[in-house]
Structures are given as structure tokens and as C-alpha cells.
Amino acid sequence: MDAPEQPQLYLITPPVFDADAFAPVLANVLDGLPIACIRLAMASTDEDTVARAADALRAVAHARDIAIVVNDHVLLAERLGLDGVHLSDAGKSVRAARKTLGADAIVGSFCGVSSHDGLSAGEAGADYISFGPVSGSGLGDGSVADTELFQWWSDVVELPVVAEGGLTPDLVAQLAPMTDFFGIGDEIWSADDPLSALKTLIAPLD
């Protein structure tokens, strides 16, 4: 994924969803705003469940020439014809994923709040780095990827960076000059109208 002048939108699926019900909801969002990439981020470890969802969402994404990657399941990404993989282990498996999937696949790496992990993932061959969450919650250890991290990355590193986790319109406005993609998921899917919720979230980009 190439870094644009204006941050692009990167959609992250809910951790649990019914593929048949979610596919048209996703399609409506894709038709309403320009989306750069979709991440299939199911919590399920059942291969058939993930594969069924991947098949349904790949069809929706590829019909619109939008890339789709899957969380961590490198072999599934290859077998199901997805565009790549998003790895959640701070770059530890980037090199192996790249070897398996080849040079043309998208390999992204979630690196939490660690610039060191981001640099290591980039050196191992990641196409983009993801930092987050960008706002605090009671989950995890409470660490937050602050604006200083994104500013440093923007100043020093050319590799595209994704800001994700707890985005708000204010944070979108703050981070827009220093991030390449906004990773958006939970912020919109619980809304009655996810497309409307997304438009409200990214209103500062207009």
C-alpha cells in the first residue's frame, strides 16, 4: 500500500460477525467512501468459519478493486486468494510471511506503541506498520500510541504507518498530518448506520 498525501481509510472487520449478514453492510460502506484496504480480523480459530468469511468478503472487496488481508493466518491468505496478511506479533513473523507469500503480497505488522518493533518489522520486509491504540481504555496494559510516536515516525521513516484503536474525530484531526492510514473498525460497526458513523469520524479530513 503506497502512502498518499491525505490519509486513506483501512477498514477492520468486527471480531465476530455473520458473513452473509455483514457482507452487504461492508459493501455499502465501500460504495460510500474510498477505502484502501480491508482487514479480516475475526477472533475465531475455526478454519471453516474464517474461510467462509474470507470468501464472502473477498468477493465484495475484489469486485471493487480493494485489497483484503487477514489477521495472522498466513497459509489461509495464500490458499483463499487474499492479498496478504496483517501480523499481530510486533514483526516477529514478517520475514517468514514474506517468504511464504512472496514479494507481491501485502505484509503488515501491528507494533503496539513500540517504534523499535516498527523499525524491526520494516527491516524484515513489512509493507506497513500499525500503531495503537491511539486512545486509552481499560484493556491491555493501558499503553497508548501518542502523537509524538506518529510524528517521529513521519519525520524519520518512509514506511507507511496506520493509526488504529479508539479513533475519534479529534484524534483524526490531530493525526492526519502524520499518518498514512486510519485503521477503523469498532468505531463504526456498532452503529445503526456504519457509513454515516464513518463519515462523522473522518469529517476533519474534509
What's the pTM? 0.95
pLDDT of 197 strictly over 50:
yes
Quick: pLDDT tens for 55-74. 999 999 999 999 999 999 99
Binned at pLDDT 50, 70 and 90, residue 5 comes out as confident
Tell me phi and psi for residue 12, to 5 degrees. Answer: -115, 125
Determine which helix (DSSP H) or strand (DSSP E) holds 108, and give its type and residue range. Answer: strand 106-110
Determine which helix (DSSP H) or strand (DSSP E) holds 121, and give its type and residue range. Answer: helix 115-124
Provide CATH code, domain 8-205.
3.20.20.70
Quick: pLDDT tens for 80-123. 999 999 999 999 999 999 999 999 999 999 999 999 999 999 99
Q: CB within 8 A of 105, min separation 6: which ones?
A: 77, 83, 84, 85, 97, 98
Break the chain into its structural domains and give their ranges.
8-205
Binned at pLDDT 50, 70 and 90, residue 3 comes out as very low
- The pLDDT, as a whole number, for residue 1 is 52
Rounded distance between C-alpha atoms, residue 99 and residue 111, angstroms:
20
Rounded distance between C-alpha atoms, residue 12 and residue 15, angstroms:
9
Average pLDDT of the chain, as a whole number: 95
Query: C-alpha distances in angstroms, 133 versus 51, 81, 139, 156, 159?
Result: 27, 29, 10, 21, 19
Rounded distance between C-alpha atoms, residue 65 and residue 89, angstroms:
28
- The pLDDT, as a whole number, for residue 68 is 98
